[in-house]
Amino acid sequence: MNAALSRRAFLQLSTTALGGLCLSSVVRPMAAPVATAATTQVTLYVAIEPDDRVIIGARGCEIGQGVKTSLPMLIAEELDVAWSQVEVEQLPYVVLTQAEPPGLTSKYGAQGAGGSTNISDSWEELRQAGAQARWLLVQAAADLWTASADKLTTRLGRVQHPDGRALRYGELAGRAALLSPSATPLPLKGARDFQIIGKPTRVADAGRIVTGAPLFGIDGDIPGAWVAVVARCPYFDGSIAAVDDSVARQVPGVRDIVQISGPSDGSPLDVNLAPGVAVLADDTWSAMQGRRALKIEWKPGPWAHDSTQALEERALDSLPGGAQVARQDGDPDQARSRAAQVVEGRYLVPFLAHATMEPQNCNIQIERDRVLLIAPLQRPAGASRLISRLTGIARNNIEIQLTRSGGGFGRRLENDCVAEAVMIAKAVNRPVKLVWTREDDMQHDYYRPWGLHALSATLDKSNAVIGWSHRVTATPRKFRVPGMANDPDWIGVCDPDGYPAGGLPHYRSEFVPLEFGLARGWWRAPVHTFNAFAIESFLDEVAHAAKRDPVELRLQLLGAARQLDYRDHGGPKFDTGRLAAVLQEAARRIDWKRKPAKGRGLGIACHFTFGGYAAHAMEVSVEDGWFKVHRCICVVDIGQVVNPLGVEAQMMGATLDGLSMAMRQQITVRDGRIEQSNFNDYPLQRMHEAPDVDVIIMPGSASPVGAGEMGIPSAAPALCNALFAASGKRIRRLPIGDQLVWQASRTDLLPFPVATEL
């Protein structure tokens, strides 16, 4: 590719002046080639230069999960080139018109990032794209040699003739671009023939990341753009009572100040989260100084006197009442009435912020009939629809350039930042670069729901678990989300088919909704991080009450390897044998049967998440009210692995994120306002606290699933189970905080006030 060619121009490229080739196969059926004097376009994923460089377009949103590397690896594998030949370019989000309903289609197929689906969505499709490119090159060589294409082979960017002749892909590109792609799907390689898939591969942007080159959304720029920062109402559903911006307008560099509206009380949270006052300036510093000079009187909303302390009191009061039954097998009440032993436990999980390293930001230019957005996103289709809704401009005239994101974790599935930028840009009629500060991001988020889990297990005379009840009292995830109106109330907070469902004769999962004004969203492995701490901690508690080995109890509940129905994301089946295998491997790696040194304890947990299976085993010690993780094992089974190096990094990062969340992170509310504002009161795990994570990737031939979220759910319960083994203190609420030094008479040491100890 011409070195001067911009990334944005990659999509308009078909054949360069030197005769390069572009290939793609997302839109089905494949379109016939369109040729002009300057270009020959067949598809849009692969460009091959005469010097044999191969430029592959990456369609996924890169939020740190590695898809800018792994998705092009799928194409390169079937194209049969060396990875060292490949350069990766980020594809934008582009909407095309089509005759069939609904009249619009994404040019490159699925481009969102959520639920760890990029690999599973692309496994066949993108490999087919690479195979189509290879097929065209073989056909071109066959034409040149007047040979049968069936007799030709390829190897590392060359087409080879049986007589020993060979042609480089770069020599064939121009001719291949004039051919029509295969009308039928092509055979794909078997796993034994993979040369790229399954090989450890560095991320495509590694050099640019470590050298600080412009790469992220915050680095984006549109000529002539003013920088905007916004002072937002801190109260849920609050409003602006009065604004005095006279001093702010005198700050050097400040260009304009505008107000933006917010949602009305109880309306859907589908645009932005809060009304605010935007300060626009020549640079970020001037805009922030202007915002600081604003004098704003905020009017509190209907939640002005609410708090998370009051929420917990409501949750405890609601436990004995009626609930919505999500699933029931057998008769748990009857099982309880004839049980030899009943074990009960309550576990609490707090609201959590996403706290991405790169706060929200975007760059936007709105013209009369066109829009350009440069932003780090997880759901560009949602951003496209939102921009069209707010501007009236057709979606096929909205170009979205996707940048690498400094973290997503579900936060960038929401496009409220884009909505704000549209409102501001329309008000000032010029390009805008909207920048959020860390405090903005922490206090205006779509938080992971809050919940109280009440669990009970019934045991027979042989200490076998015969009944299980799990009541979740929580703030519903679907709160004020119009697209979820028809979903069950418990979606995102209740996992009725999750293990140990299906493993015992009497089982009930039920839900009690709690009202609260805080916006809620998806937070990294949403329902699983919300539930795994309670379920896996309680399993450990049941095992100790029954005087049974916690691993043995889990294996008994999992039973023989079989496929169970699973209705939530990651289904439709849950394989008990695969979960048992990662559990057993984690136990083997930590040497589960040994007796740890004095003052140390072992803990273990496992979970099924989004089609993947993971287990953690940890060895910890407790001293002076805190702990140290001496060993941390993470075992994962995600089927066929595309990039082992990427999977290992994801498991390490997810494990450390899970531990960080468990240690000290929570979002609390007082008088209708978020109390936390930055990492000083929403602390991350420090480097000296972070253990080495030993990642074991189980070999597998099953169709692959993503790895972005599998390593989180079982981390916190494995840690807390180990802490119990080391200290005798059962952690019943997150974060852990000061609980290891609680005394029965010292309620002042609780991490925050509660109505009663769980």
> What are the boundaries of each domain within the chain?
8-194, 217-302+360-435, 319-352+446-749
Of all residues in the chain, what percent carry a pLDDT higher than 70?
Answer: 92
Check pLDDT > 50 for residue 36. Answer: no
Question: Residue 13 — pLDDT band, cuts 50, 70, 90?
Answer: very low
Report the pLDDT value the prediction gives residue 30, as an integer from 0 to 100: 25
What would the two tokens of residue 31 be? 């379109």
- Residue 758 pLDDT grade (very low, low, confident, very high; cuts 50, 70, 90): low
C-alpha distances in Å from residue 511, one per residue of 187, 466, 502: 48, 21, 19
Residue 380 has pLDDT above 80, yes or no: yes
Give me the pLDDT at residue 562, please. 97
Q: What is the pLDDT of residue 745?
A: 34
Helix (H) or strand (E) holding 626: strand 626-637
Q: 8-194: which CATH topology?
A: Aldehyde Oxidoreductase; domain 4 (3.30.365)
| Beta pairing, strands 226-232 & 432-435 | parallel
How far CA 622 is from CA of 41, 340, 600, 661, 755, in Å, comes to 64, 34, 7, 19, 28
Could you tell me how far CA 178 lies from the centroid of its own chain?
Answer: 40
Q: What DSSP element (H or E) covers 389? A: helix 380-391
The more confident residue out of 363 and 39 is 363
- Return the pLDDT at 26: 32
CATH of domain 319-352+446-749: 3.30.365.10
Please give the mean pLDDT across all residues of the chain: 92
Q: Which CATH class is domain 217-302+360-435?
A: alpha beta
* 76, HSE (Cβ side, Cα atoms, 13 Å): 29
Say what the pTM is.
0.93
8 Å CB contact between 557 and 546: no
The token pair that represents 620 in the structure block: 């910890």
Classified as helix, coil or strand, 25 is coil
Q: Which ranges of 203-295 does DSSP label H, i.e. alpha helix?
A: 206-210, 284-293
Nearest Cα to Cα of residue 56 among 65, 67, 66, 44: 44
Q: Which residues pair with 574 in a beta bridge?
A: 564
Intrachain domains 217-302+360-435 and 319-352+446-749 with the same fold: yes
The whole-number pLDDT of residue 50 equals 84
Confidence band for 742, pLDDT divided at 50, 70 and 90: low
Work out the pLDDT band at 173, boundaries 50, 70, 90: confident
The answer, yes or no, to whether residue 29 has pLDDT greater than 70, is no
> Prior bond to 596 cis, omega within 30?
no
CB 280 within 8 A of CB 426: no
* CA distance linking residue 701 with residue 699, whole number of Å: 7
For 545-554, b/e burial (b = at least 16 CB within 10 A) is: bbebebbebb
The average pLDDT across 613-635 equals: 96
pLDDT digits 0-9 by tens, 344-370: 999 999 999 999 999 999 999 999 999
Residues near 651 by Cβ (< 8 Å), separated by ≥ 6? 614, 634, 636, 693, 695, 697, 707, 710, 711
Query: Could you give the dihedral angle defined by the CA atoms of residues 456, 460, 464 and 468, in that order, rounded to the nearest 10 degrees?
Result: -20
